Amino acid sequence: MNYLRTGMLLAGLTALFLSVGYMLGGEGGMLIALAIALGMNAFAYWNSDKMVLRMHGAREVDSATAPELHGIVADLARRADLPMPRVYLMENDQPNAFATGRNPENAAVAATTGLLRRLSREEVAGVMAHELAHVRNRDTLIMTITATIAGAIGMLANFALFFGGNRNNPLGIIGTILIMILAPLAAGLVQMAISRAREYEADRIGAEICGQPQWLASALAKIDQAAQAIDNPAAEDNPATAHMFIINPLHAHKVDNLFSTHPNTGNRIARLRAMAADRPESTGPWAADAKPSGSERAGGPWGG
């Protein structure tokens, strides 16, 4: 259902783009704006992973520098039948994580040191499984396509602002003004809706990868509470990257509304607990020696 919803939202965004292009500049203006937007987003598609990791001061780690985290990701990647992604750590006390990369063969997962200090090993596994689900679902590709179309709509609106648009459109100058204001807002809302749909899907598949929906549910509750109290300076400086994190890092969007890039955390947890109730208790590759849920540590074998 989430894939169908994503497809419908993408189709709606494309239809909005075509309508705006026709209203403002005819076919010529539409094609020029699309070509520029495609060029900008093609550059971002091939280089966004390096740019985002650099923005957040992430450093790559391996089995020698962060053996437990690297081992958890390696085990989960095998369970998900994915190539081993690059693993990064961010020096940040706010517990959070994200995935990036244009495809599974060029993927990276990044976790903050706060995530490793404040979550149990089980919970970290749940978070990393969620991020690998994004990799397997190729969500970075979906969001790049979405950004391309939304960017093109924004460029068409800017075109109308500076050049007046197509005054001969069916609604005249009033239609031009309305599109200048409403089209970018509508595109942003659709983009955020797609992002929320992909988060729900990554929760579901991540729970399947690690085999324990409760691990991710417990992790989301802890991360959400901490993210509302602990600053993430890098995310505050680069708010456009907020949608990439498993929980919004910007102290906002407590409710599941149209203006949030993330679903309501309570709704996500409820879905995961429903998944757990529908399946028998299972064991994961770390259950035997995992610390009890709710444990916190200041150091340990995480390499942070």
Q: Among all residues, which ones are annotated catalytic?
A: 131
Q: Which residue has the tokens 């969500």?
A: 139
b/e code 238-254 from CB counts within 10 Å (16+ = b): beebbbbbbbbbbeebe
CB 133 within 8 A of CB 120: no
Burial class (CB in 10 A: 0-12, 13-18, 19+), 79: middle
Q: Rounded to whole angstroms, how far apart are CA atoms 108 and 98? A: 9
Q: Rounded to whole angstroms, how far apart are CA atoms 25 and 116? A: 52
Q: What amino acid occupies position 208?
A: E
